[in-house]
Amino acid sequence: MSFVSPGMLIFISAVGIPILIHLMKNQKFINANLGTNRFLIEVLRTRNRWRKIENLLLFLLRVALILLLVALFMRPFIQQPKKVTGSMVVMLFDTSGSEYDDFYKLKQNYRKRLREISKQLPKEAEIKLFSFNNKITPIEKADIMTLKCTGEYTDYKSVLNETADFIKIAKKESASVILFSDLQANGISDLEEFSFPADIPVIIEPSSKLLTQNLTISKVRNLTPVLSSKRGQNLYNIELEAKLNVYGTEQPETVQIGYNIDGKYNTQKLRVENGRCIIDAKISEETLDKRYISGFLHIESDDDLKVDNYHQFILPVEKTGSILIHNGQVGIDRFEDSSYFVEKSLNSFKRKNHQKWQTRTTTKLPDEIEADLLILCQPQNFSHIELSAMDEYLNSGGKVIIFAGEEFTIADEEFKTHLPFKVEKSTVNTPTTVKDWDKKYVGLKLFDGTASGDLSSLFVFDTLKVEEKEGVRKLVQLSNGSTLITETAVGKGSLLFIAQSCEKTGAQFVTQRMFIPLLHELVNYKLSNDKPKLKVYQSDLIELDKVRLVEKPQFNEKELTYTVTVKNFNELESDIERLSPNEFYTALGLSKTDLKSQKNDMELMIKPKDTLRPNEIWIWVIAALALVWIIENMVADRRLI
């Protein structure tokens, strides 16, 4: 059982109130004389025994009431165990050195869980077993109890990659991995981040000694690039929140922490607050590429506390995306390629806001475009196959950005007819700057209105004129009245059209300092998860399997939101878990027609924990108080009889 609000535990000190009342009540006696106590003794012989029990019960009841109230406000819930599904289940048993103690019990647990999981799975599902430390070793079911603790260190990345390869070779449609481990010496406190490799669902089942190390890196925050380099690499500032668990001695106020990241040893004297301290560190781009950090942490305090820990932890990657850049105008050298500046701009700062973009450049569109975003730089001549591939890509929800300058007018006519609007040479070809932009455009929040950091400082000329028709949304308008950037929905996908060339010549659009942030914002806008949010209204407790749609989602063009009324859902009170669009629609009971009618993917949905809501808590509180009142009155009445 876990608690939603464990902080409420502090109110457990209120238990002292009934204890105090109980003790104080027992002390207030007035002295009196009697000629004999014989009658009193006779009465108390029977009465006092029950009276003591009664007092004790009353006392326990009062204490229990306080505990119940505290427990209710802590909102307990039972975490439903994740269901293991798939045609193949790979079970990995940790045999590293940290599991040495009680390994026999652990093996019994492994065997028990194997039986339970086998029962859950369909008959045709295949179970593969491996022991692991820094590599995986296949074992048979019968071998579980003969497993031996190897004493080796653990390398989860290597283990999971090997497992991924195994699953790939096995060619199973769906597979899941269950990892039995104590997670020692890795510093991962947030298990959800432990989804490596990302396309394989990994369920971690803690062994008995989960997270018992004395120092863990619990959070990585404020990942910001530093515009300096080390051996030609950009450095990034990170804040590592270290959680210090000290047993058997008092928590030190300050600690001297030494850490070894990127092969360089640094020390910092840090203040410990609530068992946590923040390490300011710098990591290289190369380390960042690995998406995890290995480090050696050494803690020393004035209180003779010495802790050494080896840590690995995965950086939280917020957004990922693969970008295919089509080079429509190949120059004599690389520098003259139309895609050169676009690719360079994306790669130079590709991890701004901690984004992970993988870029590929091509001069010919593949038959089947597999990318999260397609950028066409100076599109000119496409084959029929390329055009149909692009059509298919767009219709199936693909996102395309087109940089098209004056040269676009000489592009082949067939391509032009594929665009949902007409494009022609602008009649106003004087150099101009940006006049206005759609403030609802998510990316424009970057621009702060200052002359140096404003989109209006962007200088363009020789733009193209985009036909103004329904469905073509202006994002950025120029001072001369023409439009620089428009967005149009095509099929399920969308097209962002930039009426300016991305080559070096011309207005030198791509070499201006505002181009890079603009490009980043555009790419971020297209790849971002900040999609129109669903406004969801709630009336009562939700059960996912019983959720039903009250009315169909309505798209609000002004607010860019979908409004869905779902019975029994409270966004504030629920623990939201994102579902895929399909899962969302399935949960809402929408048909495929409904799904098609929507303009964008929606991904917000809930999976409530089995927990008590505040409105339920009050029912229990009132019930508990009523119970105490009744019992107290019963006792009081009996006294008077």
Partner 1 sequence: MSAQIVEERELLEIEDLEIAAKGIVDGFLSGLNKSTHIGQNAEFISHRDYVHGDNIRHINWNLWARTDQLFVKEFETDFNHCVYISVDSSNSMNCANAFISKWQFACKAAAALSYLAIKRNDAPALIIENDSKQSFIEPAISYEQFYRILGELSAAEPGGAKPINSLIQKLPYNCRNRGIVFVISDFFDNEDETIRNAANLVSMGHEVIFVQIFDPWEAELTEEGFYRFHDLETFSTRSSDVSAIVKQYRDVFNKWHEGFTQKCSNKGIDLISLKTTDSLADVLSDYLDKRGT
- The distance of closest approach from Cβ of residue 8 to partner 1 in the complex, given in angstroms and rounded to an integer, is 35
Quick one: DSSP state of residue 589?
T
Q: Which is nearer to partner 1, 52 or 112 (CB)?
A: 52
Measured in whole angstroms, how far is the alpha carbon of residue 6 from the centre of its chain?
A: 21
- The distance of closest approach from Cβ of residue 15 to partner 1 in the complex, given in angstroms and rounded to an integer, is 24
Given 1, 10, 29, 593, the residue binding partner 1 (CB under 8 A) = 29
Given 10, 24, 35, 248, the residue binding partner 1 (CB under 8 A) = 35
Given 1, 24, 31, 572, the residue binding partner 1 (CB under 8 A) = 31
Q: Which is nearer to partner 1, 46 or 452 (CB)?
A: 46
Question: Coil, strand, or helix at residue 621?
Answer: helix
Q: Where are the beta strands (DSSP E) in 100-163?
A: 126-132, 136-139
Q: Which is nearer to partner 1, 37 or 120 (CB)?
A: 37
Given 32, 332, 410, 572, the residue binding partner 1 (CB under 8 A) = 32
* Alpha-carbon torsion angle 283, 285, 291, 292, nearest 10: -30
Q: Which residue has the tokens 């597979």?
A: 175
Contacts (Cβ under 8 Å, ≥6 apart) of 280: 237, 238, 239, 268
Asked whether position 34 contacts partner 1 by CB under 8 A, the answer is yes
**If we measure between CA atoms, which residue out of 180, 156, 302, 301 comes closest to residue 242?**
301
Q: Which is nearer to partner 1, 24 or 332 (CB)?
A: 24
Separation of alpha carbons 50 and 55, rounded Å? 8
- The distance of closest approach from Cβ of residue 192 to partner 1 in the complex, given in angstroms and rounded to an integer, is 57
The pairing of beta strand 254-261 with beta strand 233-244: unpaired
Separation of alpha carbons 126 and 167, rounded Å? 11
Instruction: Pick the stretch among 22-30, 154-162, 211-219, 516-524 that binds partner 1 (CB under 8 A).
Output: 22-30
Build a one-symbol-per-residue string for 580-619: x at contacts with partner 1 by CB under 8 A, - elsewhere: ----------------------------------------
Q: Which residue has the tokens 């019968």?
A: 142
Given 10, 28, 124, 596, the residue binding partner 1 (CB under 8 A) = 28
Phi-psi region of 300 (alpha: psi -120 to 50; beta: other; left: phi over 0): beta
Instruction: Pick the stretch among 36-44, 227-235, 415-423, 511-519 that binds partner 1 (CB under 8 A).
Output: 36-44
Instruction: Pick the stretch among 45-53, 107-115, 172-180, 227-235 that binds partner 1 (CB under 8 A).
Output: 45-53
Instruction: Pick the stretch among 34-42, 175-183, 328-336, 530-538 that binds partner 1 (CB under 8 A).
Output: 34-42
**Sign of the torsion formed by the C-alpha atoms of 558, 376, 334 and 365:** positive
Asked whether position 36 contacts partner 1 by CB under 8 A, the answer is yes
- The distance of closest approach from Cβ of residue 627 to partner 1 in the complex, given in angstroms and rounded to an integer, is 22
**If we measure between CA atoms, which residue out of 353, 471, 464 comes closest to residue 404?**
464
Given 9, 40, 78, 210, the residue binding partner 1 (CB under 8 A) = 40
Separation of alpha carbons 373 and 375, rounded Å? 7
Asked whether position 505 contacts partner 1 by CB under 8 A, the answer is no
Q: Which is nearer to partner 1, 24 or 227 (CB)?
A: 24
- The distance of closest approach from Cβ of residue 269 to partner 1 in the complex, given in angstroms and rounded to an integer, is 59
Given 5, 37, 222, 597, the residue binding partner 1 (CB under 8 A) = 37
Contact 435, 387 (CB under 8 A): no
Angstrom CA distances, 601 to 200, 216, 280, 556, 597, stand at: 23, 37, 38, 15, 11
Build a one-symbol-per-residue string for 48-87: x at contacts with partner 1 by CB under 8 A, - elsewhere: x--x------------------------------------
Instruction: Pick the stretch among 3-11, 35-43, 149-157, 233-241 that binds partner 1 (CB under 8 A).
Output: 35-43
Q: Which is nearer to partner 1, 29 or 247 (CB)?
A: 29
**Alpha helices (runs of H) in 298-410, residue ranges in sequence order:** 340-348, 384-395
Given 20, 41, 78, 623, the residue binding partner 1 (CB under 8 A) = 41
Separation of alpha carbons 378 and 391, rounded Å? 18
Instruction: Pick the stretch among 23-31, 60-68, 199-207, 387-395 that binds partner 1 (CB under 8 A).
Output: 23-31
Asked whether position 289 contacts partner 1 by CB under 8 A, the answer is no
* Alpha-carbon torsion angle 527, 409, 434, 329, nearest 10: 50
Contact 475, 432 (CB under 8 A): no
- The distance of closest approach from Cβ of residue 66 to partner 1 in the complex, given in angstroms and rounded to an integer, is 24
Contacts (Cβ under 8 Å, ≥6 apart) of 200: 160, 163, 164, 167, 175, 176, 177
Given 1, 10, 30, 451, the residue binding partner 1 (CB under 8 A) = 30
Binding residues for partner 1, total number by CB under 8 A: 23
* Residues making contact with partner 1 (CB under 8 A): 28-44, 47-48, 51, 639-641
